[in-house]
Structure 1
Amino acid sequence: MREALRYLREITYVVLVVAAITCFILGYHLGQAYMAQEVEARRVKIDHLKKEILGLEDRVKELEDELMELKSKNSELLKVRETLKSRINELTSKLEKVTEELKEAKRVAEEEKAHGAELEAKLSKLSRAVEVLKADKELLVALKAEVPETREDAERFWNDTRELIERIDPNMAPMIDKILYYLDSYFDWIEAAPPENATREEVCEWLLNYTTNFEAQQYGRAIQDFRSAAYNLIISHLNEVLIALEEVR
């Protein structure tokens, strides 16, 4: 009887050992399979992130190229502005000199009772030309000024510029209205900029948002359109002054 019990215990022990070994082997293989799946999932995610980073780097390069192009255009406009400023100063000096000459001629004409009306008309025309050039000089100052980098200052700057252009050429006022219309969209994007300690992905995502934000982009384009039109307006005024000078000579 004792032998049978001992034999039964040994059999039970062997069965338990075999069961434990089997469970261990099954657990090991299941763990390996799970780890393989986890490694594969992480590899796929890493490959996806690498592709996203490459795409963002390409977009950043495109934005940098666009920025360089805008800087080049702005540099050209600055040269035009300085040339126009110099030309206006030169013509203003000539106009003032001719105006004084006409005033003297008018005085002589009044004394002689001849050609008074003609000289009066020429003097009036040149006086108006001088006033136009003075306004153009104010406009050049506005064009030379840097656009403020805060929402409130920018809005004040463009409202002041609108008052000025309203006096010079009311037909150009809608161009300022367009700038003011897109101003909030642009500064909404600016104020959403990530902090200085932001990750590269956060910065790239912010820059990428600009390319899909049509209204924010239109703010800068509207400013460029206005500046180009303003320079053309000043050039046309200079041509009118030159014609007026030729008429009085």
Structure 2
Amino acid sequence: MIPYTPETILIVDDSPENLMVLSEILKPFYKVKVATGGTKALNLIASGDIPDLILLDIMMPDISGYDVCKKLKNDPMTRNIPIIFVTTLSDYTNEEEGLHLGAVDYITKPVNSSIVLARVNTHITLLRNQHNLEQKLQERTEEIVLTRMEVIRQLGRAAEFKDNETGTHILRMSAYAKLIAQKIGLDNARTELIYLSAPMHDIGKIGTPDAVLQKPGSLTPEEWEVIRKHPNQGADIIGNHHSLLLQTARIVSLTHHERFDGTGY
């Protein structure tokens, strides 16, 4: 299969003849780059020129293909690049060692053009399918996050309807909470969790009687005791979940009236 947008194949070999042969096979279908040794290949990749697939010789004078493979697989930026060893070594133990290091395939020299194209095409197709799945997963995840955020906001509004709050109250509370989190130096992940969970702070008011919640005058001591139950009621409504967002929302519900000195509501 000829790709519409050619992927980049890096060929690493200390033999100019081998580089030329493999380049001629692949150039009609892919963008080809070459490196005349393991060190040059690593320097090329370290500069940010990351290929989609690597054809890697094993026996090279500066650094072996095995060592190049080890370095690439130990780096989070390059560990997912498919590596195919191209070598005159055909012994079973050599092949086993290469696959153990993380290579996806082996091609034996002298190379056959049909075999080279078939092997490369197979792994490029797998890589392309993986990228498509990752993109679809990301889109689905973003959709789920947006839906979850909307559900949280609507639940927050449900509590506000009982308390005669304005519709923008939860938006303001979320924005204030985010600014405070940033100001005290929380990282982006924790700041986002607080921002998303803040709308749930008063969800417990759903369980507070209207006669108490909407009373126009001062509350009696007994009525204050009823009001003070809504943080715990909110925690019960949210429940215990594996979701870090809902765990945070439960803590927000429980503690949003806590005094700075920790003495309670």
**TM-score (normalizing by structure 1):** 0.29
Higher relative contact order, structure no. (Cα contacts within 8 Å, ≥ 6 residues apart): 1
More helix by share: 1
More strand by share: 2
